[in-house]
Chain A
């Protein structure tokens, strides 16, 4: 199999094989505005769907009257809970979410009714004429209100498989991770630091709103074109709701304008299909921006309490933690978020005694679920803040303290799982620490302004708030650990279909998967893999749809590993078939056919020594090789419900950051001037895309550190559902981001690669906040850090 490891030969390099920065097939279309997103979908005679949403966060629905809405000219259908044809609930893991609210609404913005009309404005106005009478109920908004005696139970009669083990029915899932003798360890600890931390609710803020087009089919089924992260899991949830066998529910991926977890749960999918099947017409739904902010899940806000015990020389003796995540009204991916927070809650460190518990609540806040780095992001902010406090308490350098306790290959996780792949945590920290610091008072040396002065390098930026007076620099570090792929015993797989044929004398590979390209560049990598493994320049990617087997979710940093692995394995089987055919048809023409190590290059079969035996056209003739195969990563097992022990994760991913900030403490303004990252990626399948992922994750973490927060107030309502009021970093807020990439192969993974998308999101936030703390001396227990938290008022 060594021959598989020769993809970097020059002939391949020119074609964009594995390890090269092949350009994205969708890149030019996107930057020129020609790429068709799901919001651009159109069909002849299509209707427009609109969702009526609850104005209350918790209320009983007393009555619904659709008469007036139905009488609006142009309206073709109005649907309520009473009109649902089959299953009434869905959910990623626990089907606790009503397709349309029945007796009760549990969050502000919950879908209550649907309208299909010949114009989006007609649909919107008709929806406003649906009369819904509500009787408001008391709100559950945090741990104390959720678990208080007599608290309203938001989901009575739970039958999910967490129901029996949770301490309260308003707790979705609870996972302890316990290892070692805590009492003995506490007695050994010479230094103890405790801290409480809080993270606000971050939004994925994808630029593309939720959208799709459902087209009823003559066979009674429906074709749905949609921007999603996982076509097949959408279908698994849709088929029971529509009352259709799954083969009559066909999905095709449309252009996805960013995801970051926001598209893991269903949004408009079931609604558009129901309206299409009811009216017999194609139905398009596109959320407005403010609707998008209530129409998808958010990152779990969290409160965390940590206690770190160490010896005087800085070795961790024990770590205790309690992580409370607000899951909002429905379960979504809360169980997995809890599992990550608990199992990764120690961070990338070695400690024999760990007692961490994580739980997610049911509340009447907006539902929270998947967002880049989930569970691990919240924990990382807290444990890295703790490591800095511990370093300060010990009088140690914060990087040295981390390196002293850093895990490496061979370490044992708090779950008991051995770390059986490279874990270069200390090295990643060294890489970011050893970089030269950006010059002090950079605004005076920055070029290009003609004045010897560059406001962009100062807090406040072009707002012109300072010329450097009152500006203090701070430097902060953090490192994090994220799992890759679906964990805790989940049967996680992907599927690839690969077809090889000769068209007009030229070999052509068709790669067909259901992988959702959400901007991550998976389509680029799939083509690179096919070129490398089959030695064919021309690779065509089939649109992602449900005609091929599931690719699993574009999340958990898993698609290059999983669908990349599936494409690779299927390509290898196609190659074997080519060689079999070649030996059968041409074996007598050259002794080389009998040798080992034959491979494909430049459209030909070549020997291990590089001698050409035959063109693919000669081998295949008019035959087509067309194979579809599944690929699985190694199995994991569930975490023990009592102590969290178990081989829970497939792979770990590590990233370290150093943040350099300039803080205007008088005005409370922060400029992150540099955010350096170092990450082990196992194998850089596409170096440019790797750096892009690290940059993107770093900035998303920076946003959580200093500006991004969904404001939930006034009865658990989202108060800032717009890009004017929910602030994400602009390019002026984006620092210089030098990146170091390590390529230490994980032998369990295809090409030795490591999932990369999420890890940079973890350590970015605590590194930035550590730098602000270093500049200001403030404790800063909560993110995002805003001006009022720095001005001391």
Chain B
């Protein structure tokens, strides 16, 4: 029997442990990959083997398949023979003439590994879905920055013209007014240029006259104006990123985009790691992606599992009445899972997916029109003060929306449908702004410190490697993450009441 061995550096034909013939790869890393995937041209080897007219034992499955197609008498060698080749590989490479001596062979093998590994990194880094996930993360970070700077701008310019804050919702308009300069420099033209309707322009002109604000020095105004300028620039940038995500999603994952919308789709894609990984996820995982905290709490303590994670931002889930949301999320998640698979392995936009989803959505709306009666809430007799579960009870037990999934107002702007009937600039919810500086300072820090360690999303759930915390990204919708999101969550009262009880 003859052995035919596929090595990293070439193919070798052995007879009784002696090398009969060897064929070196020209570019080891690239050629080896081709050989493994059955695309390498083994012409020389094949004609040589034909001439021998004997049976051959091979060491590799895909290599075996390639040669079998050439109707050669080939079989897989047994484990013992494989082990032997594996153990003497450096020597084999020397005998085959691929290397000068054993240490040269080892160095060549290492070079090969470096090349191949680098090539794989390059290949994976090129995939367009990684760029989508970077884009959506950039978009979210943009939002945080715009939110923070906007509130600062309103506070600061508010010293000079406090009334403006209450009248103007859109931060774009506000920033444009600030750019015009001091209160007394503001003319109706400024307001009109900023795109306000007639009625508002008149109101502004009146209020401007009797403002309670103090004087602002030239130096201060200059800084405030440069902040305003930054905000306007960032808003432009944000729009650009948003458009970019939309076009990218529609070309790379048209089905996911159709089912989930571009922004939500991109977020789920980013969370899963890549489109391929998303295609391997079960629908149930997609449904709760982004709600790891609640999910693991449910697994651990037996409370109600989350109904939706990132999916809550989907307009269908979001707009549905409370008792329908879980069903909606499940229906959407199942179609999204299929959509991801179509995007990876199929081609083009599949219309039936969306149609079927719409049928199901209509069915849910029809079937569960009325709110179900809720069973009486279980009373918890003993409550320890330091029990972290306790602070979560109020959300999951009363059936209300989980606090962690409350959408920021700004989500709305990302969806076209909602934006149409809500013509406001969506960087932030208005109401919370004012309370920002009134908030007790300590509360923030305590929130961060309170998070018990084992309550973080687990290694096992995270998509492997790619979502390490080093990039500083925290999934939206995770409460207790302490980041700047918290203050925009909108229900200031609840939080304060709660805070007092707790700390």
Asked if A and B are interacting partners, one says no
Residues of A within 8 A of B (CB): none
Residues of B within 8 A of A (CB): none
